[in-house]
Amino acid sequence: MEQVQQTEAEALRDRLWTFAQWGVIGLVVFMAGLFLGYQLWGQATKLQAQVEDLTDKVQSVVKERDTERSRITLIERDKKELERQIEELKAKMAAAPAAPTQ
């Protein structure tokens, strides 16, 4: 009877050991997958580089836009000044007596 109990105990121990080994192997494979996944996609180094490039492009476009807006503002100011001068000249021309023709 003792022999049977010992054999059953050894069989149980072997099963537990086998399950423990499979558990450790599964854990190692899982952790390796997590590690590789993080290294390949977690930090997204390529995407970070693209984000930096696109951010630089956006900033340069914003600067260009602001430059163009300031140019438009200056041109509109000059246009208004010229329109004012034209109106003044028209008023002077209308107020001036007509010169006699010879």
How confident is the model over 25-78, as pLDDT tens digits?
999 999 999 998 888 887 777 888 899 999 999 999 999 999 999 999 999 999
Give the pair of three-digit tokens for residue 13. Answer: 């121990």
Task: Please tell me what DSSP assigns to residue 102.
Answer: -
Give the pair of three-digit tokens for residue 58. Answer: 């956006």
> For the chain, what is the domain count?
1
pLDDT at 98 over 80: no
User: What is the model's pLDDT at position 9?
Assistant: 85
How confident is the model over 18-29, as pLDDT tens digits?
999 999 999 999
Give the pair of three-digit tokens for residue 16. Answer: 């537990």
Q: Which domain holds residue 13?
A: 2-28+45-93
pTM beyond cutoff 0.95: no
- With residues binned 3-state (H G I as helix, E B as strand, rest as coil), the percentages for the chain, rounded to 5, are 90, 0, 10
Task: Report how far apart, in Å, the C-alpha atoms of 12 and of each of 21, 22, 23, 50, 95 are.
Answer: 14, 15, 16, 57, 119
Residue 68 domain-assigned?
A: yes
Residue 34 domain-assigned?
A: no
pLDDT at 84 over 80: yes
